Amino acid sequence: MKFLITAGPTREPIDPVRYVSNRSSGKMGCAIAQAALDARHEVVLISGPVDVDLPRGARLVNANTADEMFDAVHANARDCDVCVMCAAVTDYKPEKPAAQKLKKGTEALLLKLVPTRDILRSLGSMQDRQFLLVGFAAETENIEKNALTKLRGKNCDIIVANDANLAMDSDENEVTILFRDGETQKISRAAKKIVARQLIKIFANAREKCLTKKT
């Protein structure tokens, strides 16, 4: 199978030296990419700026901003069997980034933020979509409830939900997998590379089931 996997954060520029971002390390997405390679799948990895070793053997596409990641995902999605949207894409970006470094003053600085394009929703709304769509939901409260809302609202096949307080900046994760048909599975707390191996098996099996139904 061919997997498209996104990893890491995005950075939305305020000026040439400052940006809006989040705490995502990219460890989970890279672990999933490595697990897919270990299972002998083909992998396209679209990664934001990360400080982790990227898996060898994947076709790497760099994407610093949400717009760059949006374009990269859509350039590759239709050729893939499974799209795993693990990246923590910044939800908002400065409306008008400054061309030069903003100087510090004594007055409050008001920064107007506008929504970035929703990659997961755009994939879920594609006509004649053939790939399995997997989203991630990093939540701090009502984890399964919020993940279920995301699953339905963005027309995903699978949502992987986790506690952001546990997963961020950590080598471990614990996840709940929610399926479109109402089924749920849990993976207990473990190293992200171990969680990733189980996830790849689940995603591959789900894709096979979709193909079986179509035939």
C-alpha span between 196 and 84 (Å, rounded): 11
Q: What is the mean pLDDT, run by run of 10 residues, along the chain of 215 residues?
A: 97 97 95 98 97 94 98 97 97 97 92 98 95 96 96 97 88 96 96 98 93 65
Residue 113's contacts (CB-CB under 8 Å, 6 or more residues apart) are 20, 92, 93, 94, 95
**Phi and psi, residue 208, nearest 5°:** -60, -40
Catalytic residues: 22
CATH superfamily label, 2-214:
CoaB-like (3.40.50.10300)
- Distance between alpha carbon 153 and the CA centroid of its chain, in Å? 16
Residue 74's contacts (CB-CB under 8 Å, 6 or more residues apart) are 122, 123
C-alpha span between 15 and 197 (Å, rounded): 40
pTM for the structure as a whole? 0.95
What are the residue boundaries of the structural domains of the chain, listed by start?
2-214
